[in-house]
């Protein structure tokens, strides 16, 4: 079982390394343009930009030009004592992981509090970015079937215009290119933080919408492989714990050859 877990761990590490390499290439060279037959043809020319060399057909501009909203919510009065056992989800920084949401320990607020925070009400495919604390820079996108929710002051909502794919933006922020900009803008001495103006000033590469979607497809394919391996890893870890419980307590007995006990 340990050997199997080691293999899975190596596969996860290899897939994550592959993704980092893909990000480095895709956010600097792209995948190209589609010809009349729908085939992707690599970009022939590049140009210098604030992010280094990029394809000549791309633009690199501040994020502010491609968003309709940048903002966050507040912590309800009373803090955690105001949370409910059910109701409207309140997304906090611990719920925003790298590229995905974890709602296992999500807090809830009531309808009255949600209405008071209507300016930070969430919409499907909003990009969520942690802007304070140790998890600063972690970014995820709300699913398309997300119904309703809100955020506290530690999570920034970025709502993109149609010219910028939200999944593309999220993948970019989670890449080394995006994380360098997060690091550059950290402020506040002992308390790391980003303000809305800094988020709006992020330089972002903007290929055509079709190329953005293709880049997202490639990166999400690797993400899907990693998630599959992580599920397999969890299954084997659970199985191992069960085996240890039964074998080390004697609930399951192991037959030993007579020669070995002589």
Higher-pLDDT residue of 134 and 127 is: 127
Statement: residue 126 has pLDDT above 60: yes
Residues of the chain with CATH 3.90.220.20: 60-206
Question: What secondary structure letter does DSSP report for 55?
Answer: E
Q: pLDDT for 2-21, tens place per residue?
A: 999 999 999 999 999 999 99
Class of domain 1-58+207-262: mainly alpha
The overall average pLDDT reported for the chain is 91
Integer-rounded Cα Rg, in Å, for the chain is: 23
| pLDDT at res. 186 | 75
Determine the average pLDDT of the residues in 227-238: 94
| pLDDT at res. 150 | 95
Q: pLDDT for 47-63, tens place per residue?
A: 999 999 999 999 999 99
CA distance 122 to 166: 14
pTM for this entry: 0.87
Residues of the chain with CATH 1.10.287.1120: 1-58+207-262
CATH code of the domain occupying 60-206: 3.90.220.20
């Amino acid at each position: 079982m340990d050997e199997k877990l080691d293999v899975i761990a190596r596969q996860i590490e290899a897939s994550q390394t592959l993704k980092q390499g893909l990000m480095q290439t895709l956010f600097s060279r792209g995948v190209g343009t589609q010809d009349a037959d729908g085939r992707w043809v690599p970009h022939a020319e590049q140009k210098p930009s604030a992010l280094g060399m990029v394809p000549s057909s791309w633009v690199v501009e501040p994020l502010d030009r491609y968003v309709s909203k940048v903002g966050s919510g507040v912590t309800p009065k009373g803090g955690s004592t105001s949370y409910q056992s059910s109701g409207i989800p309140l997304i906090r920084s611990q719920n925003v992981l790298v590229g995905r949401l974890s709602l296992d320990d999500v807090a809830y607020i009531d309808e009255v509090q949600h209405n008071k925070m209507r300016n930070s009400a969430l919409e499907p495919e909003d990009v969520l970015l942690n802007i304070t604390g140790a998890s600063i820079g972690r970014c995820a996108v709300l699913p398309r079937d997300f119904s309703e929710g809100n955020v506290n002051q530690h999570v920034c909502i970025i709502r993109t215009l149609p010219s910028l794919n939200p999944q593309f933006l999220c993948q970019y922020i989670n890449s080394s290119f995006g994380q360098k900009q997060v690091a550059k803008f950290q402020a506040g001495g002992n308390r790391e933080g980003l303000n809305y103006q800094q988020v709006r000033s992020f330089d972002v590469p903007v290929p055509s919408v079709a190329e953005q979607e293709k880049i997202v497809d490639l990166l999400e394919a690797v993400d899907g492989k990693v998630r599959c391996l992580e599920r397999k890893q969890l299954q084997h870890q659970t199985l191992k714990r069960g085996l240890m419980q039964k074998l080390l307590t004697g609930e399951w007995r192991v037959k030993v050859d007579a020669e070995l006990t002589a």
